[in-house]
């Protein structure tokens, strides 16, 4: 049984729905609720506009693998696991998103 683990760094292009820039003027109050939070976000910047079209964005990807699994992480998106592949049967046991699409789930935007 081999206990060898490889770590590789590579760049990969993933279709990404990019966001528009943050509002440059601060918003003091907005009458809205986001997940039961009030609209008081000052002094943080607000980003509430999404692009409806995607473009290919190059991401730095770290791949950690041994003879059984291959795990891919995207440090630019907070170090999240992007995919985890079981090499025995070719099954992604963590869902692999084919595109990156930010959502309005935070108080200040995506």
Provide the 8-state DSSP code for 41: -
Rounded CA separation 13/9 (Å): 14
82 — alpha (psi -120 to 50), left (phi > 0) or beta? alpha
Rounded CA separation 107/105 (Å): 7
| Three-class secondary structure of residue 72 per DSSP | strand
Q: Is the pTM of this model over 0.85?
A: no
Q: What is the pLDDT of residues 58-107, one digit of tens each?
A: 999 999 999 999 999 999 988 889 999 999 999 999 999 899 888 776 66
């Amino acid at each position: 049984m081999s206990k060898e683990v490889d770590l590789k760094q590579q760049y990969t292009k993933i279709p990404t729905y990019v966001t528009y820039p943050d509002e440059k003027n601060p918003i003091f109050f907005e009458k809205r609720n986001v997940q039961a939070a009030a609209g008081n976000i000052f002094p943080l910047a607000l980003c509430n506009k999404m692009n409806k079209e995607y473009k290919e964005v190059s991401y730095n990807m770290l791949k950690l693998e041994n003879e059984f699994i291959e795990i891919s992480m995207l440090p630019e998106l907070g170090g999240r696991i992007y995919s985890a592949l079981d090499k025995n049967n070719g099954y992604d046991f963590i869902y692999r998103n084919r595109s990156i699409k930010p959502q309005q789930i935070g108080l200040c935007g995506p």
